[in-house]
Structure 1
Amino acid sequence: MKSLLLAAGFGLFATTAFAAPEAYVLDPSHSQIVFHYNHLGYSTGTGMFSGFEGKIAFDQADPAASSVEVAFPVKTMLTGWQARFDHFMSKDFFDATDDEMVTFKSTGIEVTGDKTAKITGDLTLNGVTKSVVLDAVLNQAGDHPMEGKPWAGFNATTTLLRSDYGLGMFAPYVSDEVALDISVEAMKAE
C-alpha cells in the first residue's frame, strides 16, 4: 500500500529545472494511505497508515529512471476502534509482530500525461511480495511557502486483493478488494 507514489510526481517534472538527480524525503506529517473495504454490504470500512517515511530519487534527464522507497510497521495502522485493530493484528489476519514492515519499492514509472503517471513497484505486505501499479497525479511542485525549499505533493490510487497477501479471511462477505487512496508530500532532502 505503500505508499509509494512520490516517484510519479517526480516523473512528471520533466519541465521543471532540476540540474541533476535530487533526493527528496516524505513529509510524514502530511502523508497518508487510506484504505476502504466493503463490510458485508452494510458499510464501508476505513483505516489509515500515517506518519511513515520514504525516499525518492528524481532523474530529470530520464524521469522513468526515478525511484521511490517506503517502509512502515504494520502496527502503525489506524482503524478508529481498538477491537478492530486488535482483530487485524490477530492470527485471523496479520498476526503482526512489532517489527513487521509494509514496504514498497518502485520498479518502473510510465509518464502518461502532463500531471499523471503509473508507478509500478513491489509491495510487500504480510510477508508476500506482489507487483502493483499506482495511478498517480501531481498536485503541485515548487517552493513551500513556509519552509522555503522545494516541495511536491500528489495523490495516487490502486486496488489490492486481500487474498493475494494471505489476508482473505471472511471474503467474499467482507470484500476481497481493498481500495487505497494515497496522498503524499515530499521535501528536498538536506
Structure 2
Amino acid sequence: MRIAQSFAVFALIGAATVPALALQEAPELPGTMDTSRVSGGTYVTDPSHTLVAWTVNHFGFNDYFGAFGDVEGTLELDPEAPENAKLDVTIPIASVAVVSSGLRDHLLRPGKDGGDPDFFGAEPEAARFVSTSVNLGAGETSAEITGNLTLNGVTRPVTIDARFTGAGAHPRSQVETVGFEASGTILRSEFGIDYAIPMVSDEVELKISAAFEKQ
C-alpha cells in the first residue's frame, strides 16, 4: 500500500513539473535569418568556421568527399544595395581535409619522376574566388554570385547559388557576424586536373558554409 502511495506522489510531482518545464523558453540563438540585423561595411571570414566541401564520384561505386578550411577573404556589404556586394576569398588547397590519409596523400603528392602530379601536387597554390556580379533571388535572402575562380593556375568564370542563413552579434566577441551557405558545380578538367576521368568524375560538387565578421 505504501509503495502504491509513493508511486502516486511521484506521479503527481511529475505531472506538476512537466508543465513548468514546458513554460521555460529555449535560449535564443545569437544568429537569426533577419536581414534587418545586417549593417553595411567590410566583413572578413571567420577561418575556423568557413569551409568549402567537395564531392566527386569514384568508379561509379560511390562518392568521396573532403573540405578545404582556413578560408580567408573579405565581403563588402550594403544592405540598401545587396546586389553590389563584393566577395574576394582565398582557399588554401594544402589545407584539404579528408578522413582517409591515403586519399589526402594522393591529392597532394608530387608527380612521379618529376612528372605532373595526379591532382594538386605537394605545394599547390591557393585557390581564389573574386565575384563579378550578384543577382538577387526572391526575398533578397538568396543570390547567384558569379565570379572568377583561379584554381591550379587556371582562371575561369564560376557561378554559385548562395543563401543568407543568419546574422547577429557573436556571443563571445560581440562582433557583428553574418552567415551564408552556397553550392555550385565545376569541371575539374577545365582547371587542368584531368587525372582518371571518367573513373573519378570530372564534375565536382561544391558546398560552402561561411561566416563573416564585421571589421
Corresponding residue number in structure 1 for 2:41: 22
Corresponding residue number in structure 1 for 2:68: 49
Structure 2, unmatched stretches of 5+, are: 1-33, 111-116
Q: TM-score, normalised by structure 1?
A: 0.84
Secondary structure of 2:99's partner? coil
Structure with the greater relative contact order (CA < 8 A, sep ≥ 6): 1 or 2? 1
2:156 pairs with 1:103: no
Q: Which protein has the bigger helix share?
A: 2
2:193 aligned residue (146, 156, 167):
167
Structure 1 counterpart of 2:181, one-letter code: N
Q: For residues 111-126 of structure 1, what are the structure 2 equivalents within 5 Å?
A: 111-114=136-139, 115-126=141-152
Decide which structure has the larger Cα Rg and report it. Answer: 2
Deviations 1:10-51 (A, max 9, x none): xx95x5563xx4010111111101101110111211111012
Deviations 1:36-75 (A, max 9, x none): 1110111211111012211111123322221011113221
Question: Displacement, 1:181?
Answer: 0.6
Structure 1 counterpart of 2:83, one-letter code: A
Structure 1, unmatched stretches of 5+, are: 1-11
Ranges of 4+ aligned residues in structure 1 off by more than 6 Å: none
Of stretches 62-71 and 25-34 in structure 1, the one that deviates more from structure 2 is 62-71
Q: TM-score, normalised by structure 2?
A: 0.75
| Identity percentage of aligned residues | 36
Of stretches 164-173 and 77-86 in structure 1, the one that deviates more from structure 2 is 77-86
Corresponding residue number in structure 2 for 1:133: 159
Question: Displacement, 1:142?
Answer: 2.0
Corresponding residue number in structure 2 for 1:76: 95
Deviations 1:163-189 (A, max 9, x none): 111111111111111101100111111
The 2-side partners of 1:157 and 1:171 are apart by: 22
Query: How large is the RMSD of aligned CA atoms in angstroms?
Result: 1.8
Corresponding residue number in structure 2 for 1:181: 207
Q: Which protein has the bigger strand share?
A: 1
The 2-side partners of 1:82 and 1:177 are apart by: 23
Number of residue pairs matched? Answer: 174
Deviations 1:125-158 (A, max 9, x none): 0011011111011111122233323111110000
Deviations 1:70-92 (A, max 9, x none): 11322111122232222212311
